[in-house]
Amino acid sequence: MDKGSYAMEIRKLEKEDYKKYEIFLLSFKESLLYYSPRYKDFLEELLTVESNYLMALDKDENIQAILPIMIKEGEFGTIINSLPYYGSNGGILSKNEEAYNGLLNHYNSLIKNSAGSTYITNPLQKDIKELQYDILDKRIGQWTSIDYDENIEENIMSSFDSSARRNVRKAIKENVTVEVDNSQIGFLYETHYENITSIGGKAKDKKFFTLIDKYFEKEKDYNIYIAKLNGEKIGALLLFYYNETVEYFTPAAVSEYRNVQALPLIIYQAMIDANKKDFRWWNWGGTWLTQDGVYKFKNKFGAIDKEYKYFIKINNQDIYNSTKEELLKEYDNFYVIPFDKLRSV
């Protein structure tokens, strides 16, 4: 507990605070899934880590600002992320500058005792203050607006570029069907695993998929869209929903049916459905500046760029002398340092 110089109490989020914390989050258009108590509890079990979601409260116990943090211990010491796991966005949400500064000062004090820390900003926030850092890394967040009040299907389709429109129409012509089937977590995992490992990537652990139902509610918090051709499953897409944003989380396509273009049809249908539930943004997630193919695919669906930053502090200089393999073993799913900054590279 820290009252600091700001006549505010800074306290760790506990279960008894969840209700008022959620009310606070939903008062911000830019609050994302990653801030939510459900995602917090989910990551704690998935990653077997300690969380430290911080709240700045006024004298009447009203939340004025929050900062989600997760902590992992390893060979080089404590690593702090806001937030870990596939580039989950973090950072401070605040109702006023005093509370913002109070939490920022608290964070700066906290990370002094860590081996390293990474603060990932929220792409929907503007005018974010610079933090203390040794390394600044950047990502492009790609976002498609699905904020239409009328002619929804037509407006969403016209926001796509011509190649994406052709892909959607091809899938329709091939008689691909799309439905929500939240019982298909097994198919989603198996297809995702095959897709990612076939190109030498790191697939999400099976534990991720098995924990979804424990922490999230079907239809309300997530949906699994399934594409079928002649009754056979050929594609899937996991979406999470929070506040005004749909999170494009895990796409999967059966490789021998890729040319049928099932995924573009899923995306089109899912955007229409999300609009009807009053969601305004479709978040494609972050793209590395070097991921040209991934960037172009998302860009075809009306995505606009929203840059966000990684403010990285390295206090334990031994991290620079470590290897990629050591860091992945010790701090799996946490961000420590860009691997090209390691002296071993």
Instruction: Supply the pLDDT for residue 3.
Output: 47
Q: How many CB atoms within 10 Å of residue 14?
A: 10
108 Cβ contact partners less than 8 Å away, ≥ 6 residues apart: 131, 132
Strands (DSSP E) found in the chain: 9-12, 50-51, 54-57, 63-67, 70-74, 77-82, 93-94, 116-120, 135-145, 177-180, 222-229, 232-242, 245-253, 281-287, 304-314
The tokens for 216 are: 């999230």
Alpha carbon distance 277, 148 (integer Å): 11
Q: Where are the beta strands (DSSP E) in 47-109?
A: 50-51, 54-57, 63-67, 70-74, 77-82, 93-94
The number of CA neighbours under 13 Å toward the Cβ of 335 is 25
| pLDDT at residue 6, rounded to an integer | 47
**Integer angstrom CA distances of residue 123 from 32, 85, 283:** 10, 16, 10
> Position of tokens 């917090």?
40
Q: How many angstroms separate the CA atoms of 186 and 169, rounded? A: 28
Could you tell me the sign of the dihedral formed by the alpha carbons of 287, 293, 295, 297, in that order?
Answer: negative
pLDDT in tens, the chain (345 residues): 444 444 789 999 999 999 999 999 999 999 999 999 999 999 999 999 999 999 999 999 999 999 999 999 999 999 999 999 998 999 999 999 999 999 999 999 999 999 999 999 999 998 888 898 999 999 999 999 999 999 999 999 999 999 999 999 999 999 999 999 999 999 999 999 999 999 888 899 999 999 999 999 999 999 999 999 999 999 999 999 999 999 999 999 999 998 999 999 999 999 999 999 999 999 999 877 677 888 899 999 999 999 999 999 999 999 999 999 999 999 999 999 999 999 986
User: What's the pLDDT score for residue 289?
Assistant: 65
User: Which residue is it, tokens 């990684």?
Assistant: 310
Spatial distance between the Cα atoms of 14 and 50, rounded to a whole number of angstroms: 12
- The pLDDT of residue 130 is 80
How far is 30 from 244, CA to CA, in rounded Å? 8
Nearby residues of 68 by Cβ (< 8 Å), 6 or more positions away: 34, 35, 40, 51, 53, 54, 82, 83, 90
Burial class (CB in 10 A: 0-12, 13-18, 19+), 82: buried
| Contact status, residue 148 vs residue 159, Cβ threshold 8 Å | no
DSSP codes of every residue in 3-27: -TTTT-EEEE--GGGHHHHHHHHTT
Give the pLDDT of residue 345. 67
Taking the C-alpha atoms of residue 38 and residue 218, their distance in angstroms, rounded to an integer, is 13
Q: Which residues contact 24 (CB under 8 A, 6 or more apart)?
A: 63, 66, 93
The per-residue pLDDT for 5 is: 45
